[in-house]
Amino acid sequence: MGEKRIDKYLFNPKDLIGEGSYAQVYRGREEKTGVKVAIKVLNKSVINADDYLREGLISEIKVMQKLKSPNIVQLMDVMETNNNYYIIQEYCDSGDLDKLIENYVSQKKTMPEKDAVKFMIDILNGFIQLIKNGIIHRDLKPANILIDKGTFKLADFGFAKCVDNFKKDMLASLVGTPLYMSPQILDNKKYTSKTDIWSIAFIFYEALFGKTPWTARSPQELLKNIRNQPLQFKGPQISKEAQEFLTGCLQTEEKDRLSWDDIYRHPLFKGHFTDFIKNVSILEDKATYLINDIRQMIIKEQLDIGELFAELDMTKDKALNVNELGKFLTRVDKNLTREEIEYIFNKFDDDGNNLIEFNEFKKWLEENDCRMTASEVSRTKKKVSILLKPQQDIQAGSLDDRARIVIEKLKTSIVKYNINLLDLFNKYDKSANHELDVLELGKLLKRIDSSVTDEECKSIFSFFDHNKDGSVSFNEFEFVLKECLVKQKLKQQQ
């Protein structure tokens, strides 16, 4: 049998390297360059006859187009003929993790921990892209982890789902390979991206011990065994860090399972993900920076949170997607990147379903001291769209509003002129007793805003004086103004 041509690619039907229920994968090459490729062939009539299969194919293509990482098998091309669909992928020359584990078992050996940690690092590097794009793999297993020149790569996204597409019911479909499924999927319960954390740890355990932590003859029996049989570490000796990692990831309840942040910071990986953690830290600082601007906007413009939410909800589905929130956030800070918007979106999205309901929106704002209600806004005579109107100062308002505005002006000055908080505190601590009284703090406030009244100074002093002992210590002073340190740090990083 000779070679078959699919546009610029050639393959021999004898060079079958993988086969599933609905597809065959062949080793092929690009005709001009000779570069090896993997060609996945799917029968069009079979795929189109099944809505679920067709959705899986479309999902796989969309996911692979989004993901760019040395630890993810790259999509090179997608084609179709009258009879077949063809997915052209990067070719991996060393098989998959499933065969590698089988080789160890056949020799009555298990993978050394340092080698297992190495493939885990590769897998987690790949997952950084999934996390950033809000994608859950849902079918992670050793056979879906390919190896190319010693590098491990995530593959087969046929069951992956972009969380953007999901409503409140989240991911309630039973998919993937049962043995590696999380208890939530086995039990047909709601689940989040932590389902992939379970699968990752399941695979890590299998590599270390040559067997999976639980076995069964059916999904129902597997779920029962997971619930009733404690996790055990019988066999090869593994490090304390590896045991802690496995124990933390293989928690039956998602709320008890390690988070992605916990995983990337885990000592098992010896600081390998420092750059990723640093980037997360910068995003956290940016989120803190932004909430101060949101707080100031809500106070200045006397916005009702309920009305603001309704206005942002362009689709009128009583929830905000990332694009709807993004319009508001870029109204506050036009220089926000997509990554920053998505990170802040996830801060609002308490239940992880990739939509922000009003209760989540209100909760996050109130936790960050943004509490405007309709009764408070009733003082405002003129309503203008939050997405269109320019910033404007309030010339009048409640004592609380004025106090907050003066504090925000103080924060703005500290950041703008890069003022050291301790130096500022000591400058107005005229009695040199390491405390500010109401007169000393008042002098500072009047330097910031000469129109501030004595009554307003007293209100602001009370706000700073957390323990209500009649004086403001440096710790209390710093606590109120701590966001300034974040802003200064961000300015230095830019």
Could you tell me which residue, 259 or 339, shows the higher pLDDT? 259
* Contact criterion met (CB below 8 Å) for 324 and 313: yes
Give phi and psi for 29, each to the nearest 5.
-155, 155
pLDDT for position 158: 62
Per cent of the chain over pLDDT 70 is: 85
Q: Identify the three-state secondary structure at position 6.
A: strand
pLDDT score of 392: 37
Give the CATH architecture of domain 284-397.
Answer: Orthogonal Bundle (1.10)
pLDDT at 153: 97
Q: How confident is the model at residue 345 (pLDDT cuts 50, 70, 90)?
A: confident
pLDDT (tens digit per residue) in 3-60: 899 999 999 999 998 887 678 999 999 999 999 999 999 888 888 887 777 777 777 7
For residue 443, say whether it is annotated as part of any ligand binding site: no
Residue 400 appears among annotated catalytic residues: no
Task: Compute the distance between CA of residue 439 and CA of residue 453 in angstroms, rounded to an integer.
Answer: 12
Cα distance between residue 436 and residue 481, in whole Å: 15
pLDDT tens, residue by residue, 352-382: 667 899 988 888 777 765 554 444 444 433 3
Question: For residue 341, how many other CB atoms are within 10 A of its CB?
Answer: 20
Average pLDDT over residues 203-228: 94
pLDDT beyond 80 at 253? yes
Indicate the DSSP class of residue 171. S
Q: Tell me: the pLDDT tens digits for 227-250?
A: 999 999 998 999 999 999 999 999
Question: Is 426 exposed, middle or buried, given 0-12, 13-18 or 19+ CB atoms closer than 10 A?
Answer: middle
CA 334, CA 331: separation in Å to the nearest integer? 6
User: Among the options 15, 51, 115, 139, which is catalytic?
Assistant: 139
For the chain, the domains span: 4-90, 97-272, 284-397, 402-494
Q: Treating both helix axes as pointing N-terminal to C-terminal, what angle do 194-209 and 113-132 enclose, rounded to 10 degrees?
A: 160
CATH of region 4-90: 3.30.200.20
Evaluate whether 284-397 and 402-494 have a shared fold: yes
Domain 97-272: assigned CATH number: 1.10.510.10
Task: Give SS3 for 472.
Answer: strand
How would CATH label the architecture of 402-494? Orthogonal Bundle (1.10)
| pTM: predicted TM-score of the whole model, two decimal places | 0.64
pLDDT at 384: 38
For residues 217 and 178, give the distance between their C-alpha atoms in angstroms, rounded to a whole number: 10
